[in-house]
Amino acid sequence: MKSAARLDIRNAASRLLGSACLLLAAAACRDNVLSPSFGLAPNVAASATSGTGAVGLVGRGTTGPGGLDLFMAAIATPNGSAHGESRLRGGATGHVIQVVPPAGARNFWCINIRRTDVGPAFGDQRINWYIRDVGDGSATFDQISFVTSIGGDCLTFPGPPSVFLTLTQGNFKALP
């Protein structure tokens, strides 16, 4: 890769990460919720904010005390590759493998994660996060659902097997 192209990739990743930090508030970046070590590293091929046709979803949300607390930074590039990270507080951390944005009657994102918090002895552990970006983050909130599998993805499980849970706090934002 030429050094100029590498610089553009780093700038694109930085812009996307900066957008995520603005959307989630500075505390999220300060607390390493989204950082170069957690968020989108310099290997990101394009930024959803750079007009390349990439799409993404960033945000954080919780279902309340003792519930799910999810952090997500994911983008899909026009060539079909996906980049980013996901973290569920208390475990289930991983790299984004696949991003399927809403389309037609399917009003949710499907983001497939390869878990990095478990070793290879447990197989190719995956999580599909299904996120409905329907809330505004203050009066109404987004909804999430998930399925875990070994080796499954958004083609294997195109939709959630159960109901969506409504967040009580936080917001996910689509990046065009």
pLDDT digits (tens, 9 = 90+) for 49-65: 356 688 999 999 999 99
Whole-model pTM?
0.74
Beta strands in 26-81 (DSSP E): 55-62, 69-76
On whether the CB atoms of residues 140 and 126 are closer than 8 A, the answer is: no
Specify the amino acid at residue 11. Answer: N
Task: Tell me the pLDDT tens digit for each residue of 112-136.
Answer: 999 999 888 889 999 999 999 998 8
Mean pLDDT computed over every residue of the chain: 77
Contact 167, 143 (CB under 8 A): yes
Q: 164 pLDDT exceeds 70?
A: yes
- Residues in contact with 174: Cβ distance below 8 Å, sequence separation at least 6, in sequence order: 55, 56, 57, 101, 109, 133
Give the Cβ contact number of residue 69 at 10 Å.
18
Could you say which DSSP state residue 21 is in?
Answer: H
More confident residue, 5 or 132: 132
Distance CA 100, CA 34 (A): 21
Domain chopping of the chain, boundaries: 54-175
Grade residue 3 by pLDDT with cuts at 50, 70 and 90: very low
